Amino acid sequence: MSLGTLPNALVVIAVVIAVIARRISWSELDNSNADVWRGPVVLVGIGIYQLYAGHAQLGVAGVILLAIGAAVALVAGVASGRVAQVERRAGKVFYRLGLPGLGIMVAYLVIRLGLAGVGHLVGVPVAQGGALMVSLGANLLTQSMIIQGKASRMAEEYTNQ
């Protein structure tokens, strides 16, 4: 592990802990679109910057690992968003992942870290921090969009009653 990888790993770990803590407990869902995309897009931006700043050369193995990581992130994001619980309380929308969503997030993180390990073993430089940040951001963005969609449908049903 290089000296540059350690801060990256610490940032990813801190983000994961903060996100999991927030998403397993009931949280009010701000109805603005910015709440859905702001944090995940920042993560994706940081990851892309790190990939670009690291001057990583994308070979065939790098492209394959990035594609697999993106697919895993999107599938896990959709799955965890679908099992998320959404409730309306006193005119406000609250959500949480609950245990099934937490299980999906943990499985996603284990698979994604496994992909990073495989990339490291085969010498693919893009399989490290930047790619992890992009993958995590894509996962959270997908998850948030599914949850926001559920909340919007719930609001429509509530106003149509």
| pLDDT of the chain, 161 residues: tens digit per residue | 454 566 766 777 787 788 778 778 888 877 566 666 788 888 889 888 887 776 666 778 888 888 898 999 999 999 999 999 988 888 788 888 889 999 999 999 899 888 888 888 888 766 566 788 888 899 989 998 998 888 888 777 766 76
pLDDT in tens, 12-36: 778 778 877 877 888 887 756 666 6
Here the tokens at position 29 are 């869902």
Strand partners, 92: 89
Provide the percentage of residues in the chain whose pLDDT is more than 70. Answer: 83
What's the rounded Cα separation, in Å, for the pair 149 and 124?
37
CB-CB contact of 140 with 19 (8 Å): yes
Gyration radius (Cα) of the chain, Å: 17
What's the rounded Cα separation, in Å, for the pair 53 and 61?
20
Q: Give, for 85, the enclosing helix (H) or strand (E).
A: strand 85-89
Report how far apart, in Å, the C-alpha atoms of 56 and of each of 62, 123, 129, 131 are.
9, 11, 12, 11
Here the tokens at position 34 are 């910015």
pLDDT in tens, 37-58: 788 888 889 888 887 776 666 7
